Amino acid sequence: MKRIFAISIFAVLLSMLSMPLRAQEIIKKSGYTLSFESNFKELDPQLKKRLIKTFFEVYPKLAKEYNPSTIKEVKFFIDTAYKGVAATADGKVTFSSMWMVKHPEDIDVVTHEVMHIVQDYGRSVGPGWLTEGIADYARYKFGVDNEGAKWSLPALKPEHSYKNSYRITAGFFAWMEKSVKPGIIKTVDASLRDHTYTKDIWVKLTGKDLDALWADYVKNSKV
């Protein structure tokens, strides 16, 4: 029995040793804390510094603009097993190590993802395209190096819709902020967070529903 137990312990230890190391660093600045973890041993130290710097540059601005009550402690994890670009849940952003390797210039993926933390919609009554459109609008407005990443709002095409999400929706929002009602996205964002959002909010704020606003955007699409 002791022999079986010893073998089991050895197997567990061996399994732990074979797992990728998750180096952790805790950084605190201006009332915010970032826990940075990675199981990617080839992570460029300069890229790591840029990710950390971007967080402390944009997160306080996003918090001030949209949600001063947002959490003060955030986690970053560079994961070799994650196959997407990045994902956010429960105050933790998981980044794909391969995306970082292939797109080291895309530093404002941080801006988009931490905006999701600031949004904090919980069991939102709003559509997914709206959540992602607001996050990319925040990247457009607060990003530190969108130009370096060759990231920009796309030119409008006939097949586009405000429901396409991400940059297409963000372009629509940027136009609304400039040409229809400054501050409208901040108001809509707040309604999603306190769960009072309905599609009628656009009519209340602008006098037009989304379809009519989109029609106006198509006519005057230059942001």
In the prediction, which pLDDT does 35 show?
98
* Contact present, 112 and 106 (Cβ < 8 Å): no
In the prediction, which pLDDT does 99 show?
95
In the prediction, which pLDDT does 177 show?
98
Q: For residue 30, give the DSSP letter.
A: T
How far does CA 123 lie from the centroid of its chain?
Answer: 17
How far does CA 57 lie from the centroid of its chain?
Answer: 14
How many angstroms separate the CA atoms of 99 and 107, rounded?
A: 11
In the prediction, which pLDDT does 123 show?
84
Domains and CATH numbers, the chain: 20-120 (1.10.390.10), 124-223 (no CATH)
- Residues of the chain with pLDDT below 50 are 1-19, 223
In the prediction, which pLDDT does 8 show?
46
In the prediction, which pLDDT does 222 show?
57
Q: Helix H segments across 67-200?
A: 97-102, 109-119, 128-142, 166-179, 184-193
Q: How would you classify the pairing of strands 73-79 and 32-38?
A: parallel
In the prediction, which pLDDT does 200 show?
97
**Straight-line distance from the first to the last Cα atom of the chain, in angstroms, rounded to the nearest whole number:** 73
